Amino acid sequence: MWNYYNRTMVKILLLRHGQSEWNVLGRWQGSQGDPELTEAGRRQAKESVQNLSEISKVYSSPLKRALETAQIISDDLNLNEPILEPRLVEKNVGEWSGLTTDEIESKWPDYIATGKRPDSFETNEDLVDRGVKALIKIAKDSPNDTVCAVAHGGITGKLAEHANRFDNDIELVRLRNCQGWWIEVDLETEELKLLGFFENNQSGFIDNFIL
């Protein structure tokens, strides 16, 4: 937290979880899929801790892959238990949850390439709305902390876009596991500002950007 012209700013690291079992299998997870971390995912979480010494409080999506990542970070930093924030769950991907990209392309030809989604998908607008509300609530409950909020690739990416929409001066990239974005929340205006990228060049990850 810091005060800028008598305005309280709370700094939050929005972190994607470690590698999950479905990441390895290439299955879409969304909010319905709830696989656990792999051993590689647990190592990624532990390796991220060396770059998180300023963190004083940890929040998490309740899904297993996020919560275990958050628990490892909390334990290794000797912090209190992670606080659950249900609005940080991944985007609801409807009928695609549990399917591979090949299975999706077989049943829904050209949907992925053209950005089309089934009606059962959560909209980006609803995703951002609940995510913003979650971060504002976290900031209001943690005005004197630097927070790590462990979430998921889809929601984290859309919140980074939202926080970068005015300045638009930070290049956005898709997150690998245990990478994230630093976001500042202004408690007076309830606006979000993107501060920068948390790279975490850990060993042993595979490129997998599936939700």
* Marked catalytic residue, from 27, 43, 91, 152: 152
What distance lies between CA 131 and its chain's CA centroid? 10
Residue 16: exposure state from Cβ atoms within 10 A (0-12, 13-18, ≥19) = buried
Q: CA angle at residue 54 from 1 to 162, to 5 degrees?
A: 60
SS3 110: coil
Look at strands 146-151 and 57-60 and give their pairing: parallel
* Marked catalytic residue, from 12, 14, 15, 17: 17
Is 17 in the active site? Answer: yes
- Whether 132 and 156 have beta carbons less than 8 Å apart is answered as no
Q: CA angle at residue 137 from 88 to 54, to 5 degrees?
A: 80
Q: Catalytic residue numbers?
A: 17, 152
